[in-house]
Each structure stands twice: as structure tokens, then as C-alpha cells.
């Protein structure tokens, strides 16, 4: 078929896209008029939008990974501040996707709950002369995703900022200011200290919660009792913690495995001690243990990390 046989409409403009020439001209124009700034200003205060795509996502919200593939090259170069809010197992993949669009002006942080291992991955894969300053806001609940966000999520909650040898102090100060503006109290420590502390205060309690609920399931299956129907406050509260996102917590346990393993050893040792006292009916030893542990609760209340008001269940 020749061009004389094709019925093309006559137009006043070239039918050729001529993209090698036209695209740089268009991009230069957008830069000149600061199109991204104009778009942000025009949408200020407007309702947030959800990015959609065709099949297989046509009937629902697009997966964030797909959205990133489509818009990274357009968004990242014009974004000065980036917060990684993904499971830690996704860090490497995303870093490799955005490396080409990063500059030394970018301030990058994350909200991961384990730091030493994830920081090794970041250092290994992030391109040179780019700074990453880790954060860990101690906030949230057993539910995940933006649909479960709250305006006061960070109000009066601690946010740990990680300072290691190569930390960019300017970026650290920016993050300190940022977290304070959203209501957090900030504290600075190195990644080693962070992981040791939170292996006991956060990671072990979650592991115990998962294991306790699993123990209840195993008991229920073996005895054929309907345990859930009679769940008291203890099991109910642990089940809430155990409802946390499984991918996120798998990553936390794996990324802080050395400290978590040591925390488990301490817990097992104390559990055996309790078992020994219970079997021997050692009242003095049991009372001493129970009295000592109550002091921790008093400290938590005194530090205003919780209220002393009794919890008889949710309203």
C-alpha cells in the first residue's frame, strides 16, 4: 500500500511527532513557566486524588508499585523531601528505581523500626553523594495504610532520629524540625543503640503477642474449646497487637534478628524462672517478681505514655 492509497486528512501542522526535537522544547517550556509549581498552587486545599490505571487495576485503586513506575521520573526530580513508608524489604527495589532522579539536594528519610541492617542496604544501593537520614516515629496501631491515618497520629509521640558517622547535620536538623511540626518529641541516637532498645520495648512484645495468639489457637485446636468466645482482656489486648501487618513485622524481626534473638533468650530465661516458682509454689519469689514488674507500668504512666485509667474494653 502506498501513501496515495491512504486517506489521510489534510492538516495545517506536521503529522510527524518529531519527539527528539519537540520533547526537549516542551520540557524547557514547562521548566520556564514552573509548571509543577503552578499545578501545586492550583490544587492547594483541594481534595486529594487517587491515581487509577487500566486492567488489571481498572476496577480499583492502582497498586503503589505500578504508580511509582509511571510517575517516578516526573515526581522525584521536583520533590525535595522523600519519606519511605514501605516495608523494609522494599527499600532496595525503590532505591534502584529512583537513583537516577536523585540529587544531593534531596532530603530522604524512612520510618522503619530496625535500622542497622536497613542502613547497610541503603548505603550499598543508594548512589554516591546522596544522604539518607533515618527516622523512627513511635506511633501507629495494628492497622496499616493511608485510610487509617489520623490528624493527631504523632501528637506527643517520640520520634527517634538516627545519627551515625556520615549523617548530614543539615538534613538531621530539617527532620528534627519536621517531626516537631507534626507534634512529635524528638531524640537522637545511633542505629546500634536504637536496635538494642527497640528489640526489648517493641519487637519482643510483638513477637510474644504473635506467639501467645498462636498458642491459644493450638490449644483451641487440641482441646476443641471455643477460646475466642471467652477471651479475657489479656488475650484481647494481645490479639490487637498480633493483628499488625505481617510483612512489616517479618521484615523487622529479620532486620534486627541478632538483638531480637538475645531478647528472646532473656524472656525464655525469665519464663523458666516463673515456671519453676509456680511448680514449687514459691510465693515469696512470685510476689517479688510481680511487684517489681508493676513498677514499669507506674513509670509509663508517670511519663504520660499512657493513662492510669482502668481499661475494661473498648466502648
Q: Which residues pair with 160 in a beta bridge?
A: 136, 187
Residue 166: half-sphere exposure toward Cβ, Cα within 13 Å: 9
Question: Which three-class secondary structure state does DSSP give residue 252?
Answer: helix
pLDDT above 50: residue 304: yes
Topology annotation, domain 195-302: 6-phosphogluconate dehydrogenase C-terminal fold (1.10.3660)
pLDDT of residue 57: 46
Which residues lie below 8 Å from residue 249, measured CB to CB, with a gap of 6+? 206, 210
Structure letter (DSSP) for residue 81? E
Statement: the pTM of the whole predicted model exceeds 0.85: no
Q: Say how far apart CA 37 and CA 200 lie, in whole Å.
A: 45
Question: Which three-class secondary structure state does DSSP give residue 13?
Answer: coil
- Domain boundaries defined on the chain: 22-141+153-189, 195-302
Q: Say how far apart CA 106 and CA 10 lie, in whole Å.
A: 48
Runs of H (alpha helix) within 182-282:
191-198, 204-223, 233-241, 246-255, 257-279
Summarize pLDDT for 125-180 with one digit per residue, the tens. Answer: 999 999 999 999 998 777 777 777 778 889 999 999 999 988 999 999 999 999 99
Homologous superfamily, domain 22-141+153-189: NAD(P)-binding Rossmann-like Domain (3.40.50.720)
pLDDT above 90: residue 282: yes
Summarize pLDDT for 61-97 with one digit per residue, the tens. Answer: 555 556 656 667 777 887 889 999 889 999 999 999 8
pLDDT of residue 221: 81
> Can you give the C-alpha Rg of the chain in angstroms?
27
Amino acid at each position: 500500500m502506498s501513501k496515495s492509497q491512504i486517506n489521510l486528512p489534510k492538516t495545517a501542522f506536521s503529522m510527524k511527532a518529531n519527539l527528539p526535537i519537540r520533547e526537549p522544547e516542551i520540557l524547557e517550556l514547562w521548566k520556564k513557566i514552573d509548571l509543577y509549581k503552578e499545578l501545586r498552587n492550583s490544587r492547594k486545599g483541594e481534595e486529594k486524588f487517587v491515581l487509577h490505571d487500566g486492567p488489571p487495576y481498572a476496577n480499583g485503586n492502582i497498586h503503589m508499585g505500578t504508580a511509582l513506575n509511571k510517575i517516578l521520573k516526573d515526581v522525584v526530580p521536583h520533590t525535595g523531601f522523600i519519606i519511605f513508608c514501605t516495608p523494609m524489604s522494599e527499600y532496595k527495589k525503590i532505591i534502584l528505581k529512583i537513583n537516577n532522579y536523585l540529587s544531593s539536594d534531596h532530603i530522604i528519610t524512612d520510618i522503619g523500626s530496625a535500622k542497622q541492617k536497613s542502613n547497610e542496604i541503603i548505603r550499598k544501593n543508594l548512589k554516591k553523594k546522596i544522604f539518607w537520614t533515618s527516622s523512627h516515629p513511635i506511633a501507629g496501631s495494628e492497622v496499616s495504610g493511608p485510610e487509617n491515618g489520623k490528624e493527631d497520629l504523632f501528637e506527643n509521640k517520640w520520634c527517634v532520629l538516627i545519627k551515625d558517622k556520615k549523617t548530614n547535620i543539615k538534613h538531621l536538623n530539617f527532620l528534627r524540625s519536621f517531626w516537631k511540626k507534626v507534634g512529635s518529641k524528638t531524640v537522637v541516637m545511633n542505629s546500634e543503640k536504637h536496635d538494642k532498645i527497640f528489640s526489648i520495648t517493641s519487637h519482643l512484645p510483638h513477637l510474644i503477642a504473635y506467639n501467645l495468639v498462636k498458642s491459644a489457637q493450638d490449644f483451641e485446636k487440641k482441646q476443641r474449646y471455643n477460646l475466642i468466645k471467652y477471651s479475657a482482656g489479656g488475650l484481647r489486648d494481645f490479639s490487637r497487637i498480633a493483628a499488625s501487618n505481617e510483612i512489616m513485622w517479618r521484615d523487622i524481626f529479620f532486620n534486627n534478628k541478632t538483638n531480637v534473638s538475645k531478647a528472646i533468650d532473656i524472656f525464655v530465661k525469665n519464663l523458666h524462672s516463673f515456671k519453676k516458682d509456680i511448680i514449687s509454689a514459691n510465693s515469696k519469689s512470685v510476689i517479688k517478681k510481680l511487684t517489681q514488674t508493676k513498677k514499669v507500668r507506674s513509670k509509663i504512666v508517670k511519663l504520660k505514655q499512657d493513662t492510669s485509667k482502668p481499661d475494661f474494653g473498648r466502648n
